[in-house]
Structure 1
Amino acid sequence: MTRDDNSDFGAGGISPRWTSSAKSGVGTALSPACRIWFTLSHGILNEVYFPRVDCACTRDIGLIVTGPDGYFSEEKRDTESVVTTIEDGVPAYRLINTALDGRYRIVKRIIVDPVRNSLLQQISFEALQGSVHDYRLHMLAAPHLVNAGRGNTGWVGDYKGTPMLFATGSHGVSLALAVSGGWRTASAGHVGISDGWRQLQDAGQLDPQVCHAANGNVALTGEIDLASGSDTVLLSLGFGNRPQEAGYNALASLQAGYEEAERSYIRDWQAWQSTLLPLDEPRAPPPELNRYRISTAVLATHRPLSFEGPAVASLSIPWGFAKGDEDLGGYHLVWPRDLVETAGGFLAAGAPQDALRILAYLRAIQEADGHWPQNAWLDGEPYWTGIQMDECAFPILLADALRREGALTGDALLAYVSMVERAACYVVVNGPVTGEDRWEEDGGFSPFTLAVEIAALLAAADILEIAGHDHNADYLRQTADAWNDQVERWTYVDADAATADLGVKGYYVRIAPPDIADGASPADGFVPIKNRPPADSYLPTARVVSPDALALVRFGLRAANDPRIVDTVRVIDAQLKCELPQGPLWYRYTGDGYGEQADGGPFDGTGIGRPWPLLAGERAHYELAAGRPNMANMLLGALEGSAGPGGLLPEQVWDQPDMPERGLVFGEPSGSAMPLVWAHAEHIKLLRSLRDNAVFDMPPQGVERYVKNKTTAPFLLWRFNNKTLQVPAGKRLRIEVMAKAIVRWSSDGWESESDVETRQNGFGIDVVELATERLPKGTVIAFTFYWPDTDHWEGVDFAVTVTDGE
């Protein structure tokens, strides 16, 4: 009789968790037939994704070794693992896991079958003490089908007479595990209650009567037959929409064998890598790892060829060992910002068609009003509900970069005019205040978002002009000029007590509160913070410093030697720079709460931000723009030196003394996402920039307009979301509203008044300019609105004072 865990051992199993985000490898096959992606950590498989790169289907798959006298050794905990790629630039892996007690060694080669939905592990077991026959080898797998540990059902069965372990989930996706020679014994139980790990711990062997576990957190365990005399076996993990399809794929791959699948897998990757620019030309001394090819492979691994265009931010779940089913998305979601950065990496590597496919995908998932979701599943369904203005502007910059590279011209360019125009419309209607900054946190005026918005408006103007939309192009440039004029008023503050000893006159802040739109100074309500305070003293009203201000240089709005930028860099280094063994890295901003707890515990909604290697790449680009390539090269070393053993770049690194009990080592990856695709894209762009001795992705329009020609707007812009209180003498006051209006205004205290009717432009914005350019300093301009469509007056007077000219 078969024991059913639901009745005999309690229902469901313990609460499911994901696993470590510290990946040592990620891989997939470069074949449209492939719908599997895999990750490695601690010498074993972690999350395997099917049928889409945003659908995690396993927690982990590893081995357990048992032997005489109750010997029990778990591969992921009790071995030292060395991971290498089988070929340079190919995410096919060879793992050598040696037992810490010296008793055995396991060697694995891992690939995805390029012609069917199966993942293959060629496994060799070597006894270092005693003989093979002294040991028993077991595979332990934790299905988490379609992003959930709950709701899985597992059982022991067969496909066409071949013994297999099966699991299926509530979304209908199934997996099957088969091994050459068949399972010697097998079990399917609930985790923490009747799973194979517990059986082997308690009894030293599997209980074949525990062969079905329904609707819970389940584990599949099978004993690999070492008694046959062969020390090498092939383990096949097949997937399908039904158990039978999964079983077929697993068996077909077993029958076809490993060698030809590996040759085909490697051949496809080498063919793609051969099309890229040779940015891995040897540096002296030659690198231990070809980090350029690792980065290009990471970019290509995070996208599906069967679902053309998207790429997820990371095949990981930050602090996954503490996360359960409530975190459906992890980082395996599409962020438009990260996706454009990924496209930039492809473009820098000489793969414009890969970047063009990303742009095509972005066009397909653009919302009707012109914006993009904050993040989304592959099919464009939003996951989070926020809207970030830089993410609405970034795709415009990608379209323009492809145009300037010659990859998007003629009719192909014209096909994207509607996308660009709708995106630009959303930006000009809803900007310049960001809903949240690029870190999905605070809202207000952000130098980073402003830089992206302004650069994107100029880029969009060029594209619209090519399409003959001259009036809209002119308006975008005018708006960009007006916003650029206000960057300092919105985000620059005078030196304070926290920066008095640095010899600076002022600096750009990370986020200025939205009430600055009503005319407040960016310094109003700020409490200065010196250096990095402990987490409990972070103040939301503090002047927050961030490397984000360097975006003003990266996107071409300010010169690298602008005194305000130079002073800000000094403040950034004083408050955010962290010296580590690999070189300097930087924190995101003062008071960052996204990172491990003070005791090294996982981020749980609160924590302390740690240094980001990505920011070393951004700083290196600034140094290159400032004419310091040697410094940029040093920072390239710090970026590359932050990678894990397999060359993958993490989101953050640990900045405190070692905590070996938590796996945290000073200067090495923390529990955040690894790899972070954005960091690998930045790495590729930095290599290209260093080769060209110029910042690869700096848009030229802002440099020409603002750095070289010092262009300013002849007017100051007033909106309900940007109610300026002052206009410089010599400038007109432009008023923009979102409905037809008559503006009644006066410059003499309502002794006299004038009515001016707005005119709607091509973006649905009603615009009027008041002739204020000849009014003397001190004049108070008063105005109000009549709304003809609803036949009512605003009922409030607004005032703007003429001040000294700029």
Structure 2
Amino acid sequence: MPVTPNVAPGAPGIPARWTSSAKSGVGTSLSPAGRIWFTISHGILNEIYYSRVDSACTRDLGLIVTGAAGYFSEEKRDATHSIEPFEDGVPAYRLVNTANDGAWRIEKRILADPARPALLQEITFTALRGAADDYRVYALLAPHLVNAGMGNTAWVGEHEGKPVLFASGRGSCLALASSLPWRTGSAGYVGFSDGWQQLHNTGELDAAYQRAEDGNVALTGEIGFSAARTKALLALGFGATPEEAAEHAFASLKQGFEPAANSYLQNWRNWQKGLLPLDRHAVPGTNFYRVSTAVLATHRSIATPGAAVASLSIPWGFDKGDDDLGGYHLVWPRDLVETAGGFLAAGDAASALQILDYLGSIQQPDGHWPQNAWLDGSAYWPGIQMDECAFPLLLAEALHRAGHLPHARLAVFLPMIERAAGFVVRNGPVTGEDRWEEDAGYSPFTLAVEIAALLAAADLLDACGKPDAATYLRETSDVWNDQVERWTYVTGTAICGQVGVEGYYVRIAPPDSAEAGSPKDGYVPIKNRPPGDTNRPAEQIVSPDALALVRFGLRAADDPRMTDTVKVIDAQLRCDLPQGPLWYRYNGDGYGEHEDGAPFDGTGQGRPWPLLAGERAHYELAAGRREKAASLLAALEGSAGPGGLLPEQVWDGADMPERELLHGRPSGSAMPLVWAHSEHIKLLRSLRDGAVFDMPPQGVKRYIEAKTVSPFRTWRFNNKIRTVPAGKTLRVELLAPATVHWSTDNWATAHDSQTVENDFGIHLADLAVSGLPKGSTLTFTFFWPGAGDWENVDFSVISGDQDSQQTFPR
């Protein structure tokens, strides 16, 4: 093989793109020495991650078959594909790619070497038409070593006299070696001089193209197949230097496939055998439970225990470039807690504890968590979402309640718990954005998580000997729970008339400006923008998110407000598909393919989410309808793609095979979505137990059974209420000490109340105005002793009726 380092033409190549997010397999070795995560789609390897699960190092690695008379065939485009795991719960795969024209068949076995950072592919080529010598088979590899397409360098070289395909970028290197040595090799710029262009245009590789620097590059090598040698082992090694990467690749080749496979299988068998037996075999050939558990474990970090990414995919990746470095291979605290819940439901409390440890390590000093982050905790998106700040509290309490977080260990997490609870009480209940990273306001989902989390934290603080702090958290939960309907429940709307209900919970209600006010004294600013891409009034936007009020134990499943809301959800959002009913996120959702099937590009049309079938199933189970919940489990599993992986969304339109969009099948969104697999595991556990597995008990006891109501109504600078119901005490909450100067007779007389600081740095003053006649006005202002001056603004609150929901004309 020539080694003259001639640089290929066409630098730096066409703009880089990722690849299909519709994965059919994901895997890793569960070995600290491995540090490789891989994905499979369309019969070939897609993104491979090294040495961190948030760092993609390749776009794809597939094969091209050429022959006489200009024959050119690419296995990912020109073949039918099948995939199966080695065994249940082991994400090592057998692939069979059969040419659509009947000319050839390629069989593969793929796994990561547990002994070192190398990926192994055992490839068998069979000529179905003609003889093996009539064809030539090439491996085509697109390095993305810098977690992006541009900025990579590729070259053809040698290691100890053996030909190797190399690439490097930003301190990482790869080396692709073959047990049947490369006959020829080429390095080129994508779209101009890469091997695909050469083989497609001329049928040959240009031996002069030996190097492509600092661009969007590709490597191509001809595998030395012959009539007598139809099986080859490819090893893709990684390292900090080219030499190290090559050493790993050749060490794997020398070891061979079977020893690596035996070790890989044993790692996964050992982990799977420690899980609860929630297996079901409703669909022959696929054990969805073991697929889901393997998905959860595959998305974990090795070097950073407890960290796990949301998906080893980039939604609509074939249309995304280097400006989307994160994709979904980032840490979302919400998704991570949901992942922990999946581990806990499967019986792996140790993994859930690791996640709690990790969350403590990336918590910010003020108590919040980043909206999403790289493994080291550095934020990717700049937002703050209140539910993500509350979810870790629910995880801590669930572990403690189940006996996995004994008192001595709980004390270690006490600072994290106090900071998180403090952040929530200081900055809730308005959400920075809803759980879909979109609109700000009062969201039933976020409210449910916040309230349940504060009750959970209160129990933890009680266990740690902090009853005063616990009491305050419960009092705040009560205040917020009392107002859920006032904030998010509407009656008398046009939809009420259409569906025949009294009212329903809306997806999100923008905070009233008179209540939200401007931040003061350190309150975190909350974005206040109208509902995203709907241009609809808030009362017309509905979402299955309202079911969270039941899931988190705040409202009974048979509460008439909930049952009416369910009717509205079904009328507006249900989509009946071949596998069963699924639901849209909300009416007017713009996150999905366009109507013509074009990929989401910042705008589009939301499609049904299998995850929401799992959430609905939990609601049905809470309502005592187990059979209906079981049927929705079947719809959830029936939404899976090849290999049993669950997508973020499925296509709801007519078949568009030219865009790979089939009715009821996975769309171009993320697949697998780890959150959906966690929900699947929890649903299996809930069905086994006959009760919702992750429903916190505190809200059920306090609000559904004891029907607790709050004696308070709270005023603060980020929630300036305008009325206080008759019989309620007005609680003023500030983030600095103050004297509250107040009057109930337009300053004819005045009173002074000193604030008292609590455990969370909040300064309280309870104004005894519960006996004021209806319509009376309480006026107040503040003297700030720290600054030595007055607020110079008067605020007022009117004594009014008891709370009621929002009413709109039909």
Q: TM-score per shorter chain, which class?
A: over 0.9
TM superposition shift of 1:146: 2.8
Counterpart residue number, 2:650: 653
* 552-561 or 720-729: bigger deviation: 720-729
Q: Which residue of structure 2 aligns with residue 56 of structure 1?
A: 56
Match of 1:85 in 2: 85
Instruction: Provide Cα deviations, 1:727-756, integer angstroms capped at 9, x if missing partner.
Output: 111111111111111111111222211111
Q: Give deviations 1:233-281, integer Å, cap 9, x for gaps.
A: 1000000011111000000000000011001101110111000000004
What CA deviation, in whole Å up to 9, does each residue of 1:177-231 have, x standing for no partner?
A: 0000210111111111111111111221111111111111111000011137211
Residue 515 of structure 2 corresponds to residue 518 of structure 1? yes
Kindly indicate whether the alpha-carbon contact (under 8 Å) linking 2:133 and 2:227 is maintained by their aligned counterparts in 1: no
Q: Deviations over 1:81-124 (max 9, x none)?
A: 00000111100000000000001000000000001010000000
Distance of 2:5 and 2:61 partners within structure 1:
23
**Alignment partner, residue 179 of structure 1:** 178
On the 8 A contact 1:5/1:11 being kept in 2, the answer is no
Instruction: Select between 191-200 and 94-103 the one with higher mean Cα deviation.
Output: 191-200
Distance 1:537 1:627 in 2: 35
Q: What is the alpha-carbon root mean square deviation over aligned residues?
A: 1.6
Task: Determine the structure 1 residue equivalent to 2:612.
Answer: 615
Query: What code does the residue aligned with 1:617 have?
Result: G
2:131 counterpart of 1:131: yes
Counterpart secondary structure, 2:644? coil
Q: Which residue identity is paired with 1:17?
A: R
Residue 14 of structure 1: aligned partner: 14
Match of 1:71 in 2: 71
Q: Which amino acid aligns with 2:423?
A: Y
Native 8 Å contact 1:96 1:105 kept in 2 = yes
> Quick one: distance in 2 between partners of 1:495 and 1:688?
39
SS in 2 for 1:499: helix
Offset at residue 464 of structure 1 (A): 0.7
Pairing 1:41–2:38 present: no
Task: Please give the alpha-carbon distance, in whole angstroms, between the structure 2 residues aligned to 1:364 and 1:740.
Answer: 31
Residue 532 (structure 1) aligns with: none
Q: What corresponds to 2:225 in structure 1?
A: 226
State the Cα deviation string for residues 153-188 of structure 1 (Å, max 9, x = none): 10000111121000001x110000000021011111
After TM superposition, give the deviation of residue 519 of structure 1 in Å. Answer: 8.4
Q: How much does 1:503 deviate?
A: 1.7
2:409 maps to 1:402: no
Which residue, 385, 389, 397 being the options, matches 2:382?
A: 385
Q: Which amino acid aligns with 1:682?
A: E
User: How big is each residue's C-alpha offset from its partner over 1:317-362, in whole Å with a ceiling of 9 and x where there is no partner?
Assistant: 0000000111000000000000000000000000000100000000
Instruction: Letter of the 1:616 partner, please give it.
Output: A
Instruction: Tell me whether 712-721 or 39-48 shows the greater mean CA deviation.
Output: 712-721
Residues 1:208 and 2:207 aligned together: yes
**Equivalent AA in structure 1 for residue 56 of structure 2:** A
Structure 2 counterparts to residues 264-303 of structure 1, below 5 A: 264-282=263-281, 285=282, 287-303=284-300
The equivalent position to 2:686 in structure 1, one of 678, 685, 689, is 689
- 3-state secondary structure, aligned to 1:514: coil
CA distance in 1 between partners of 2:802 and 2:448 (Å): 24
1:490/1:516 contact within 8 Å kept: no
Contact map agreement 1:199 1:206 (CA 8 A) in 2: yes
Equivalence for 2:110: 110
**What residue number does 1:28 align with?**
28
Give, in whole Å, the separation in 2 of the partners of 1:64 and 1:803: 75
Match of 1:263 in 2: 262
Q: Which moved more, 1:590-599 or 1:539-548?
A: 539-548
Q: Report the CA distance between 1:3 and its aligned residue.
A: 7.7
Q: How does 1:230-249 map to 2 (within 5 A)?
A: 230-249=229-248
Q: Does 1:633 align with 2:630?
A: yes
Could you report, residue by residue, the CA deviation over 1:774-804 in whole angstroms, capped at 9, with x for unpaired residues?
A: 2222211111111121122222221111123
TM-score normalized with structure 2 length: 0.96
Distance in 2 (CA, whole Å) between partners of 1:3 and 1:583 is 60
Aligned residue for 1:159? 159
With 788-797 and 108-117 compared, the bigger mean Cα shift is at 788-797
- Selected match of 1:570 from 555, 567, 570: 567
Tell me the amino acid that sits aligned with residue 265 of structure 2: I
Task: Measure how far apart 1:760 and its partner are.
Answer: 1.0
Q: Give the C-alpha shift of residue 598 in structure 1.
A: 1.4
Q: Which amino acid aligns with 2:196?
A: W
Question: Which residue number in structure 1 is paired with residue 807 of structure 2?
Answer: none
Post-superposition shift, 1:377? 0.4
User: Is the 2:122–2:234 Cα contact (8 Å) retained in structure 1?
Assistant: yes
Q: What code does the residue aligned with 2:11 have?
A: A
Q: How do residues 228-377 of structure 1 correspond to structure 2 at under 5 angstroms?
A: 229-282=228-281, 285=282, 287-377=284-374
8 A Cα contact 1:43 1:95, kept in partner:
yes
Counterpart code for 1:716: R
Instruction: Output aligned runs, 1:673-752, within 5 Å.
Output: 673-752=670-749
Using the size of structure 1 for normalisation, the TM-score is 0.96
| Residue identity in the other structure for 2:258 | E
Partners of 1:325 and 1:513 in 2: CA distance: 34
Q: Which residue of 1 aligns with 2:506?
A: 509
Tell me the amino acid that sits aligned with residue 68 of structure 2: P
Letter in 2 for 1:397: L
Partner SS state of residue 40, structure 1: strand
Question: Is 1:605 aligned to 2:582, yes or no?
Answer: no
Stretches (4+) displaced over 3 A: 1-6, 285-288, 535-542
1:188 equivalent to 2:196? Answer no
Higher mean C-alpha deviation, range 268-277 or range 723-732: 723-732
Partners in 2 of 1:495 and 1:77 — Cα distance? 54
1:456 matched to 2:464? The reply is: no
Distance (Å, rounded) in 1 between the aligned partners of 2:516 and 2:139:
65
1:188–1:218 contact (8 Å) kept in structure 2: yes
Counterparts of 2:431 and 2:503, CA distance in 1: 23
Give the Cα–Cα distance (whole angstroms) in 1 for the partners of residues 394 and 584 of structure 2: 26
CA contact (8 A) 2:582 2:635 kept: yes
1:429 maps to which residue? 426
CA–CA separation in structure 1 for the residues paired with 2:537 and 2:801:
33
Partner deviation per Cα, 1:258-313 (whole Å, 9 max, x = no partner): 0110011011101110000000044xx55431000000000000002332110000
Match of 1:414 in 2: 411
Report the equivalent of 2:438: 441
Which of the numbers 773, 778, 792 marks the counterpart of 2:770? 773
State yes or no: 1:643 paired with 2:640: yes
What is the DSSP-based 3-state SS (H/G/I as helix, E as strand, rest coil) of the residue aligned with 2:158? strand
* Partner of residue 525, structure 1: none
Does the 8 Å CA contact 1:519/1:726 hold for their aligned counterparts? no
Q: Is the CA contact 2:280–2:289 (under 8 Å) kept in the aligned structure 1?
A: no
Question: What letter matches 1:39 in structure 2?
Answer: T
Separation in 2 of the partners of 1:790 and 1:537?
A: 45
Measured after TM superposition, the shift of residue 537 of structure 1 is: 6.7
Query: Counterparts of 2:736 and 2:493 in 1: how far apart (Å)?
Result: 42
In 1, Cα distance between the equivalents of 2:146 and 2:457?
39
**Matched residue type, 2:164:** M
Residue 176 of structure 2 contacts residue 236 of structure 2 at CA under 8 Å; is this kept in 1?
Answer: yes
Determine helix, strand or coil for the equivalent of 2:123: strand
Aligned to 2:475: 478
How many residue pairs get aligned? The number is 790
| Secondary structure at 1:424 match in 2 | helix
> Structure 1 stretches of 5 or more lacking a match?
521-527, 530-534
Deviations 1:103-152 (A, max 9, x none): 10000000000010100000000010111111111000000113110011
Q: Is the 8 A contact 2:146 2:152 kept in 1?
A: no
1:101 corresponds to which letter in structure 2?
D
Deviations, residues 473-521 of structure 1 (Å, cap 9, x unaligned): 111011011111111111111131123022211111111112166189x
SS of aligned partner of 1:153 = strand
Amino acid at match of 2:191: G
1:410 CA drift (Å):
2.1
2:761 pairs with 764, 770, 788, which one? 764
C-alpha separation between the residues in 1 aligned to 2:423 and 2:199?
60
Q: Measure, in 1, the Cα distance between the counterparts of 2:447 and 2:534.
A: 29
The residue type equivalent to 2:38 in the other structure is: F
